[in-house]
Structures are given as structure tokens and as C-alpha cells.
Structure 1
Amino acid sequence: MCQEIGHLSEKSIDYILIIRPDIFDKETIQKLLKIGKKVVAYQWDGLKRYPEVFNYIQLFEKFLIFDENDYNNYHIKYPNIQLCENFFFDYDEEAENCQKNNVIYYVGSYIENRIDDLIYTMKELNKFDVNFDINLKYYRSKRPINRPDIKFFKDNFTFKDNIRRLKSSSVILDFKVVDHDGLSLRFFEALRYQKKIITNNKTVMDYDFYDPQNIFIIHHDDMSRLGEFISSPYKEIPKEIVDQYSFSSWLSKYVL
């Protein structure tokens, strides 16, 4: 990447946002720090999931993280970290209308410590008239679990394809991993596209958009009302609340 940005002069870029700085080599990071007037890093995953990121935090004046536990654990050692939340992208990434189907949608990496909750949730949902679109990224050739209602893939979805599937669904699933408690992008995409969500992440209750009619928390909510939850209409959230979780608002609040 250094070759691609090598022609840029020092302080020639007003703002640079680096998402997942740990995937870049330090030579590239140092170059970006020189050419940007303001350079902000954002680690949109738990810090302990990719521990090499700890070698990068001190390089930045501001290092954003989305997990309150990470902030509480590391803000004294790294006073430049700042707590934020995730967001949805507020541009029209797909013009066509998607027909809404009675589909439960999930896409994510296969991580062993969240599979039990996925299987449990699917078992409970099977009691009702639903279809599944469950997709797990997994690199090995042999499936870790043998279930015909779970699709395994190696190549990433495009963002556009993910949004198309999400918009066509009625409910999306979210399962946090042991390493973090922050809210994934799924919550904010569900907020934008008015989709219900079933999750095991109780921290969503602390957010102003939380409503039990739209968000069902397994191991917290009464499973006997799951059928009522998936069949009842989405409760619209006030626009002023939704808009504050857009990427445009996020940039204004944390980067610009």
C-alpha cells in the first residue's frame, strides 16, 4: 500500500480514518500518519480477538473502540482510546426494492463459542413457520457440524449482497463472541432497515433504540413469547434516534 500512497505529500489529506489498523504494516501506518492532518484509527472488533492491535494503539492521537469492557480494561494504559458505537452506512447502496420474505437471516464467521446459541435459537424457531438463510464462513473442507439448514462458505459476501439478503429477511440473528460485548453492525443495519433482531447480547438494552417488540434477547426474554415476537409488526423508532447512528453522524461525532 505504501506504493499507492507514496506520491502524497506530508499533511496533504485533511482526514484519514483507518479501520482495523492491525491489518496494515507499520510502514504504511507511519506514512498515513505523515500525510494526514488528522488520522483516527477504529478497531471495530474486540481488542483481544486480534491482540497484535496492541502494538498499534499508541501510534495514534485517537484510537476508537466500540466495546465498553475494552475501554474499562485499557483506557488507563492507553489514554488515547475513546469509546464509540458502531453504525450503519447511510447511502443508497442498492436501488432495487427487495421483497420481504419470512426468512431468518444470519451471516458470520464460524466461531465455536457462539454456535451453541445459534443451534439453540434455530431449534426454537423451528417450532414456527419460518425459513432460514444461515451462512457461516469456514475455511476447512470438512464441515464442523452437519446441518443442511446451515450453509458454509469460504469467499466473503459482497456488502451489497449482504444488504440485499438482510432487506429480504424478516428477522436477523446476532450472536456475540466471548471476547467482546459491543454491538455489531447488525444492530444498526437492522435499525436502518426496520428489521427485528434476535440476539444473546444483553448490552443492547442500554441503547435508546432498544424496544422488546423489535429485539429479542435469548437467555433473558421468555422463550414462550418467541412466536409472538416474530409474528408481530416492527415498532418504528423515531427518525431522530435512527439518524444519530448513521455513518455520517458517526464521522461528525468521532472523526471530523
Structure 2
Amino acid sequence: MKILLVCKDIGGYARKLAEHLSIADQVCFIDTAALAKPFDRAPKILRRPLNRWAQLRQFSKAVAAGGRFDVALIINPAQIEPKQLTTALSASERRIAYLYDSFSRWPMSREALAVYDEVFSFDPENAEQYGLKKLHNFIYDDYVADGDPGEYSAFVVMAGKDRVPALEGLARAFDQLGVTDYKFLVQCKPIPGAHPGITFFEQRMSLESVGELVKRSRIILDISKPGQAGLSFRFFEAMAARKKVITTNRHVLDYDFYNPANILVIDEADPVIPESFVSAPYADIPAPIYRKYTLQGWTETVFASR
């Protein structure tokens, strides 16, 4: 099967998907975030339109080189330039969209959704409201468990300052337990007076670097973005590495892999972390459930009619 996969792949997740699909299928992967911007030194008034024109030429050339595709899988179409979308969809027999952001961040009209044969959403509330197919993010790497209890008691990496107050509440909750060997990383400018256990940084971390820190930690933190009901990739990184999760997202209670031994749902405004949750061992997830969230299980769902 010939697959055209398009995504503004800032996080690197779509590249993992492309690598998996390429094992059995012919895949043309276009990361729109990686398209060159040759006119960045042009006068400001011309810079943006000239770069859009240049990127559309690059995009169209890549699509044309692949000929006709059996299916186009567009991830987060709202992040793709409209002319690039038109080029991709017109070159494909079937059109599938996967939304791994909520409409609160990247809205789409019903008219925009209607051009796809199938639309999957990671957000259960969006899926219900718009009649989309509910899906989830995926385990993009199977980490090898080495039995190490972990260098850090808890780990999180996130971008932006909006969720820092919630993270500070979690830091204080760990402090009250006498647990201070956590690693909390936030990608933004340093915030004066923030909890001293939080480290601020500027350069985005690679998936490989995040994966190494996940393996070296015992608990992964997940603080939902406002308006988000879908589960972030943190859950699936934790599942692959057999790590526990502390989260503010109550929707995890509805998933078949939920186990209170592994996942603690907290009140963002008043986080309470029982010492027993921190000290108790991880409970393994049954293999059939785990497989459902792997790339193999995910692609079988999305391309069910291949």
C-alpha cells in the first residue's frame, strides 16, 4: 500500500509512525516543520508569503514524486497550510485524519472535517460532539525494562509556563512526603520565585532524551492542558517503560489499561499523593491490552480497510 503521511512533526512522533509503516508499506512522509525557509532574510513584508510559496513548491514536488497514493493520513490538519492540504488530498484515493490535539487548541469546522473519509480524534469529548472516531495516541518505542528502580522518584517535561503553578503544587506534595529526588523540566524562560525543584530550559528535548529520562524515573507526571480530554503521550511512554503515572486528567479512568495501582488521578488545585502509591510496585498490564496501544495495534485500527 502507498501511504502519504503528512504532519507538522515538532515532537517527532509522526516520524516514529512513518518508520513503523515503512516496514510493510511504501510511505512518503512529509514533515512540514522541516520544510526549508529560503527567504528568511527577505524584507519582513515579503518573508512570510515567499517562504509559503517556497514550501508549497517543496511539498508539491515531494507529493508528485510519489505519484498516486492509496491513502493520505494527515495528522492535525489544522496545522497544515491549506494549499499543502489540497495537494496531498488530491493525490490520494482515501483520506484519513488523526487529531492528537483538542479543538480547544486547533479548531476545525465541520466543513473541513467533511473532506475526509475517516477522522479519528484522541479527544473523547471532541469525538462525541462531532461524530468522529475515538482513538488514542500510541506507544512509539518499546523500552527494555532493566529492573532498575529508577534514579528519579518522579519526572516530567513540558513546554510553557501555564501549568507551572500546578507543577509547583506537585513538587510541594512530594516535598511533604520527604521525596525530593524528582526531575521536573519546563521549556520556557525561568520564572522568578518558582519552586526550586523545577528546572527551566530553552531547547526542545528529543524523543530519545525524554525516553532515557522516563526509564530513569519511577513515576511520570502528566498535567493536562486546559480544555484537553485526550491522553497525552506521557501515558504511553510510561506504559512502555512500566512506570506509574500521576495525572490531572480524569478521563484516564475510562480506559481499559487504567489500574489504580499504576495511575493516580489528582486534583490539580489540591494534589494529594499517598505514600503507598509511591512505594508500591508497578502492576503489569495484560498483554492483549498493551498490544492495542502499540504502533502495530494503532495502525491496524486506522488502516482497518487496507
Aligned to 2:182: 132
Alpha-carbon offset, residue 201 of structure 1: 1.2
- Please tell me the residue identity of whatever aligns with 1:83: K
Gaps of 5+ in 1: 76-80
Deviates more, 1:102-111 or 1:203-212: 102-111
Residues 97-246 of structure 1 correspond to what in structure 2 (within 5 A)?
100-112=150-162, 114-126=163-175, 127-138=177-188, 141=189, 143=191, 146-219=194-267, 226-246=274-294
Structure 1 SS opposite 2:166: helix
- Please tell me the residue identity of whatever aligns with 1:153: F
Q: Which has the higher contact order (CA 8 A, sep 6+)?
A: 1
CA 1:226–1:236 in structure 2 vs 1: closer, same or farther (change >3 Å)?
A: same
Aligned to 1:65: 121
Counterpart CA distance in 1 for 2:260 and 2:293 is: 19
Counterpart CA distance in 1 for 2:271 and 2:145 is: 36
Supply the RMSD in Å over aligned alpha carbons.
2.6
Query: Number of residue pairs matched?
Result: 242
- Please tell me the residue identity of whatever aligns with 2:173: E
Do residues 253 (structure 1) and 301 (structure 2) align? yes
Alpha-carbon offset, residue 44 of structure 1: 0.3
Counterpart CA distance in 1 for 2:180 and 2:299 is: 38
Q: List per-residue Cα deviations over 1:101-139 (Å, max 9, x = no partner).
A: 133110112252x3333221111111233412111222x
Structure 2 SS opposite 1:146: coil
Counterpart CA distance in 1 for 2:142 and 2:245 is: 22
Question: TM-score under structure 1 normalisation?
Answer: 0.84
CA 1:123–1:225 in structure 2 vs 1: closer, same or farther (change >3 Å)?
A: closer
Question: TM-score under structure 2 normalisation?
Answer: 0.71
Contact conserved, 1:175 with 1:200, CA < 8 A, in 2? yes
Do residues 87 (structure 1) and 138 (structure 2) align? yes
Over alpha carbons, which structure has the higher Rg?
2
Aligned to 1:37: 93
Alpha-carbon offset, residue 15 of structure 1: 3.2
